[in-house]
Chains A and B, each alone.
Chain A
Amino acid sequence: KAGVTQTPRYLIKTRGQQVTLSCSPISGHRSVSWYQQTPGQGLQFLFEYFSETQRNKGNFPGRFSGRQFSNSRSEMNVSTLELGDSALYLCASSLGTGTGLQPQHFGDGTRLSIL
């Protein structure tokens, strides 16, 4: 099976712009979660989607949004970019169903740099 695929791998933007990141989960996985990773802060949960519905959201401003399509692919959008948004954005997929939480599998991430 192909793993979780994130595009693009690298992105450079300037303050005030907006950006859209894409994530294709492992085939058969219906849950997609997004995380922001910065040095010293670990992985901060952004949101989780399942069957095109957001089931949970982390403590991030409304500039961060996401969506999921019927084929389980997901996108996240960040508007009005700030310098502090520079980070590695990771996507993880899991089955999303069954008893209890399922293991998550991560993509390589998109490294976003804000100038």
Chain B
Amino acid sequence: GENVEQHPSTLSVQEGDSAVIKCTYSDSASNYFPWYKQELGKRPQLIIDIRSNVGEKKDQRIAVTLNKTAKHFSLHITETQPEDSAVYFCAEGWSGTYKYIFGTGTRLKVLA
């Protein structure tokens, strides 16, 4: 079935702390996993992505890990800043279907 579970739905952290958001997918054929950040009233923006042949990818304070066996992938934000406050969406896709399934989003609040 087509389903991506995303947890938690809301997350509050103190500035400087780390934040972790986890997504679980159901289709073992999925091979592309992007993460989007959507600030209030703005468009979703791609912040990092990972393909199924890689277990981890990092870009400055942001990292994504993928566990294909358990079918879950996680977004890690270190040294959080107030400007990290937004809604984060995970998504999964697989070649040949040209279709992405999105999680329901995590509202991250970074408290100054």
B91's nearest neighbour on chain A, judged by CB, is A43
Q: A4 contacts which chain B residues (CB < 8 A)?
A: 43
On whether the beta carbons of B98 and A104 are closer than 8 Å, the reply is: no
A78 to B72: give the CA distance in the assembly, Å.
35
B48's nearest neighbour on chain A, judged by CB, is A103
Q: Is A101 an interface residue (CB 8 A)?
A: yes
A95 vs chain B, min Cβ distance (A): 12
Q: Is B99 an interface residue (CB 8 A)?
A: yes
Q: B43 contacts which chain A residues (CB < 8 A)?
A: 4, 90, 106-109
On whether the beta carbons of B32 and A100 are closer than 8 Å, the reply is: yes
Other than A43-B102, A50-B98, A101-B31, give 9 A-B pairs with Cβ distance below 8 A.
A4-B43, A33-B98, A42-B103, A55-B98, A100-B31, A100-B32, A101-B95, A106-B43, A109-B43
Binding site for A on B (CB under 8 A): 6, 31-32, 34, 36, 42-46, 49, 51, 89, 91, 93-95, 97-105
The 10 A-B pairs at the shortest CB distance, nearest first, are namely A42-B104, A43-B102, A101-B32, A106-B43, A55-B98, A56-B99, A101-B93, A48-B98, A106-B44, A42-B102
